[in-house]
Structures are given as C-alpha cells and as structure tokens.
Amino acid sequence: MPFDSVYVAREQKVDYASRLEGEETTSAGQHEQPVAEALLCRLFRFAGADKIGYGTPHWNPLSGVIRPGDKVVIKPNWVYHRNNAGHGMDCLVTHTSVIEAILKYAVRANPMQIVIGDAPVQGCDFEALCAAIGIRDAAARFSGSGVPVEVRDFRMTRRTDEGFAAPSKSTGRSSDACVEFDLGPASWLEEITQDDTEFRVTMYDPDALKRTHRCGSHRYLVAREVMEADVIISVPKLKTHKKACVTGALKNVVGINVLKDYLPHHRKGGSARGGDCYEGDGVLKAMAEDLTDAGNRAGGRWLRGLYGSAAAVCCRLSKMQGGDGDLEGSWFGNDTIWRTTLDLQRLLIYGTLDGRLNDSRQRRVLNITDAIVAGEGEGPLYPSPVPLGVLTMGNDACAVEWVHAILMGFDPGRIPLLQHALGASPHEELAEFRVNLEGRWMSLDDLAMEVWPAFRAPEGWRGHCERGDANSGAVTAAGFRRSVGA
C-alpha cells in the first residue's frame, strides 16, 4: 500500500447494527456481513490486498502487513467509560464491531499474539468501559482460534472516583512494563521551552511535568507492548477535539503513553503572558490556574477539594464576564498539544526497546479509522454523533488525517497539528495525497467537492478551522508543503 494513498469506504444511512452484502464467498454462497466488516473488506479490496485469495474463505488481506509469528498491538480510542454529553458510546470510542472485523483478518494472518490496549484518561473506569462495549467477550471469542488475544489497560495510575479531589492509585502496571524515552533538544517541544515554561495537564501535578519536560530534556513513558510490537494497527474514533481540533489517526497515538505526568497539553497562562491555555490575559482565569496548581500539589483530599472549588468559582465568574471558563487549552491558539502528539508519532515509528530512536522504521503501522458514527462539538469527552458511514485506511497518519479534515468540512491547512505533521512526515512521497473513495481515485480537492456533512467545530475553534470561508483555500498538500518550505 503506497504511503501517499488513503482509502475511504462509505455507506450512507447505516449504523453499527446494519448489515451489507459480503465480500467473501462461503460454501453457502455470498453472505451478509456486519457493516463494519463489509466496509473494512471494501478498503482491503480497494488497496488490492491479497488479490489471489479475494472472494474466497481463505482471503488473507492483512498478510502484507502481519507476518506469521508477529506481535500485534491494536490501539483503539477508549478515552472514557461514558459520554459526558449524554449521546452514548457510539460517537465516543472505537466501536467493538470495527475491532472485531480487524481481529477476524488479523488472526487469519497467524501472528504470535494480539494485544488490544489503550491508556484512557485517568478518571476512566476501565472495567466499566470494557463491560459497556463488550470487548472482553470479543477478545475471548477470537482467542479460541489459537492466537492469544488480550485486552490491556496501559495506564500506570487511575483515579478511584470522579472529581478534581479524587485520589489516584496504581493500576498494577510496573515500570518494567514501560519504556522511557528522552527526545532531548530534538523534541518538538524544545522550541517553546524556556527555564520558566510551565507545561500543564489540568488535573495533574505541575511539578511532575516540570521534571519530565524542561530545557534540553523531554521524556515520555510508552507501553512496552507497543515497543515490542512488529505491527501496530491504530483504530481511532474520528471526532473533533477541543485542544487539537481533530482527533483521529494522529492524536490516537497519545494513548501509548502510560502516565499523564509525561504529557504536556498546554502551557500555563494566557497568550498575552506567553502561555497558550487561553487567549489574552484573563485575571480570573490566572487566579483559577494558581488555585488549580495548589490543589494538584495538595496532599489531602479535602484540601484538593477546597482549592478545586475555589478555582471553579473563578471560572464561573470569568464566564459571567463573557469568557468561556476553560482552563484546558481548548482553543485554536494551543501551541503545545500538537507538539506532544508529533513527538509520540516519532516514537511509535522509530522507537526501540532500549529507549532510543532508530534511523529506520521499527514497526509497521496501519491506520483504520472508525467514522461510521463520528463525533462533533466538544470532543473528546462531550461529543455529539454524526452518522458519517465511513471507514478509512492508510499507512501514513498524516495523509489519513488530512483526508479526515476534508470529510469533516475543515481546512487541514488551518489546523496546526495537520500543518506540522505534513512537514514532519517521514515519507517524501507525500507531495500530494492520492485518495480512493469507493474505488475512485481523486485529489483532496476532488474529495472536498463530494457531499459531506459539516461538522460542528469545538467552541474554541469555530471560525478558525472551517473550509469555505475567506481564510481557507485549496487543500492540496503540495501547495501547503511549498508554503511552509518543507
């Protein structure tokens, strides 16, 4: 599969319970398949996977990716156990039917083992999530085929209940199950790191982030299963994202990092003070940040709760004065999260078990994105459903994500993560993307001419990411690459 090619399978007016005419012929003839499996088979057919075996019960379309005896990691988006907007799980996390479809063909390629894992937010109840989506039952069914299939929580810590004051406890994952990297000055974060830079993740210890990210040192802690893998199949849920605008093939990589103390999401302060948590210089927001820091440093639960309540009052007052009350870097000026994401993309491709970066690719990566029901609005935790009816597939996460932006009605050239991912891509052939929509080759501009629903952007991105206004133009990758001098 060429690195500059992205494949798109689309079926309108379907949901996860729908069934379509199948691609395989059984002894009983043609049969229906669940919609996720049928769309996945279309993607494989468009890509020319195992042309000789196509249409037979022995079709092995992942044989070009997974070799016998390989270790495989399937990395879904399992961000949380509940949609906080009340719109259900279908637009929140990777649907289990998509994972099952991938498992069917991954097992057929005869790997040594398959691990399905993610590091959701610290407050996620992992067992409640697994029960809600039925993933352990699915894994058990495929384990019966002779290939071990395991479901794993990659996190080292979790919160015991919800709320700012909730204490953290160990998940039981030891340091031996992780690989630490230090990208040093080569990190994308180094450019914005000074002695007084204060990286933040809103509900985590700011002092821990200071230890992992400072001038000349930028450390990440990655699940050992990922570094041991021969093949990574990344299976994100396509959604809008308050901090990054879009979460899909690129942002999904954040879930390979096992401890949030290693993950800068924004910098403390407003843009007027050199931070990127929010625009301008909000006095009430600055007070809320200080109170949040004090709460995150406090040892006792009651004291954490007191600081958290005081910070919440400041945010409410800020909102009453016309602000948004957000302290998480949820706006178009966030200049941090894309850097963290691209650092982790480098580790995914080039990282070794001894915590170094190799000059050559260390594992094969395939991106298969679940957009049968996508998410819009205040993702990743508060998405609303968009019945898109799409699965996408590609080797290069940057190319795939540019296509995703088009499908959402966004201009990829206006989204920092996508802008900089293009310049950082290890594939020089990404001068122009080739898109295969339902068997038809086309350019990005041709794809944009198709009829797609216009996704509602997160509040902090509205007017700064959409395609079709005065600030957007042609979406050819070649044009943008030349404009940034890549």
Lowest mean pLDDT among 25-39, 71-85, 142-156, 449-463: 25-39
CA angle 336, 206, 420 (to 5 degrees): 10
The confidence score (pLDDT) of residue 473 equals 54
Lowest mean per-residue pLDDT among 68-82, 154-168, 472-486: 472-486
Residue 395, φ and ψ in degrees, nearest 5: -80, -35
Please tell me the distance from the alpha carbon of residue 28 to that of residue 37, in angstroms, as a whole number. 18
| 255-266 pLDDT, tens digit each | 999 999 999 999
Q: For residue 91, what pLDDT band results from cuts at 50, 70 and 90?
A: very high
Residue range 22-69, pLDDT digits in tens: 777 665 556 789 999 999 999 999 999 999 999 888 999 999 999 999
Residue 424: what pLDDT? Answer: 60
Mean pLDDT of 338-366: 97
pLDDT at 166: 79
High-pLDDT (> 70) share of the chain, %: 92
How much of the chain exceeds pLDDT 90, in percent? 83
- Domain extents for the chain? 5-278+326-484
> Quick one: DSSP state of residue 465?
S
Q: Is the pLDDT of residue 480 over 90?
A: no
Euclidean distance between CA atoms 221 and 343, whole angstroms: 12
Look at residue 405 in the predicted model and tell me its pLDDT.
Answer: 97
Which tens digits make up the pLDDT trace of 206-244?
A: 999 999 999 999 999 999 999 999 999 999 999 999 999
**Of 102-111, 159-168, 265-274, 395-404, minimum mean pLDDT range:** 159-168
Q: What is the arithmetic mean of pLDDT over 315-338?
A: 94
Q: Which amino acid is at 316?
A: R
Measured between alpha carbons, how far is 456 from 451 in angstroms, rounded to an integer?
16
How many residues can be counted in the chain?
486
Which residues lie closer than 8 Å to 403 by C-beta, 6 or more apart? 6, 8, 392, 394, 433, 435, 444, 447
Inform me whether the pLDDT recorded for 450 exceeds 60: yes
- pLDDT class of 123 with cuts at 50, 70, 90: very high
Within 1-154, residue ranges assigned H as helices are: 35-46, 96-108, 126-133, 135-143
Q: How would residue 472 be classed by pLDDT, with cut points 50, 70 and 90? A: low
Predicted structure pTM score: 0.94
* pLDDT tens-digit map of 283-325: 999 999 999 999 999 878 889 999 999 999 999 999 998 888 8
For residue 42, how far is the Cα from the chain centroid? 23
Q: According to the model, what pLDDT value does residue 486 have? A: 30
Write down the pLDDT at residue 317.
95
Query: 269 φ, ψ to 5°?
Result: 100, 165
Mean pLDDT over the full length of the chain: 92
Q: What is the dihedral of CA 97, 142, 126, 153, to 10 degrees?
A: -120
Give me the mean pLDDT over the 405-416 stretch: 96
